[in-house]
Amino acid sequence: MAIRNLRYEGDEILKKKSREVPEEDILTEKIQTLIDDMIETMHKYNGVGLAAVQVGILKRLIVIDLYDDNGPIVLINPVIIKTKGEQEVEEGCLSFPNQFAKVIRPQEVVAEYTDREGKRMRVKAKELLAQAIAHEVDHLNGELFINKIIPGTLEYVEPENNN
Ligand code: NI
């Protein structure tokens, strides 16, 4: 496994739309390695989610980890089929280091996706998981949280020194 280089604010690739992963590619070493690398990269930077485009690959593939019992979740070709309600939440993005702002996200999201074994799944997500899925699916469509923040809420936070 390897840490991949992150793409940051200003990189034009972040505005591009990602392409579906062909079902027959999911079990290939290339895709499975990409998944493992994305999880490792997300963990290294303490992120709760990462889209493939953020490591420079325009595939509809996201990983999410809320650091709870569910462990990392891999969503391939995710589609949000239903949303319910709204929540005003604090949000950041690994492509926008040290920047946080408030955004409006759905309170609940129902999404379909293919897991890393190639099985089509459905998840009903609330709160932080709903927020994370909405944020990451936006990345697949070239949409960035910075363009939907509530005006006046953007903050720059210096990273904590853990030494
Ligand atoms: Ni992001």
CB contact at 8 A, 83 and 54: no
- In terms of phi and psi (left: phi > 0; alpha: psi -120 to 50; beta: otherwise), the region of 108 is beta
Q: Which of 136, 143, 158, 160 is catalytic?
A: 136
Answer yes or no: is 140 within a domain.
yes
Residues flanking ion ligand 1, Cβ below 5 Å: 93
Whole-prediction pTM: 0.95
Q: How many domains does the chain have?
A: 1
136 included as an active-site residue = yes
Answer yes or no: is 78 within a domain.
yes
Answer yes or no: is 161 within a domain.
no
Closest CA to 125 of 83, 69, 157, 79: 83
Q: Beta strand pairing status for 96-105 and 49-51?
A: unpaired
Return the C-alpha torsion angle 135, 141, 142, 147, nearest 10.
-50
Q: How far, in Å, from the CA of 30 to the mean position of ligand 1?
A: 23
Q: Say how far apart CA 159 and CA 161 lie, in whole Å.
A: 6
Low-confidence ranges of the chain (pLDDT < 70): 161-163
Q: How far, in Å, from the CA of 39 to the mean position of ligand 1?
A: 14
Closest CA to 78 of 114, 38, 53: 114
- The boundaries of the domain holding residue 49 are 12-156
Answer yes or no: is 7 within a domain.
no
Answer yes or no: is 162 within a domain.
no
CATH of residue 93: 3.90.45.10
Answer yes or no: is 1 within a domain.
no
Please report the pLDDT score of residue 85 as a whole number: 98
Please report the pLDDT score of residue 161 as a whole number: 65
Q: How far, in Å, from the CA of 15 to the mean position of ligand 1?
A: 12
Answer yes or no: is 112 within a domain.
yes
Answer yes or no: is 131 within a domain.
yes
Q: How far, in Å, from the CA of 92 to the mean position of ligand 1?
A: 7
Q: How far, in Å, from the CA of 28 to the mean position of ligand 1?
A: 26
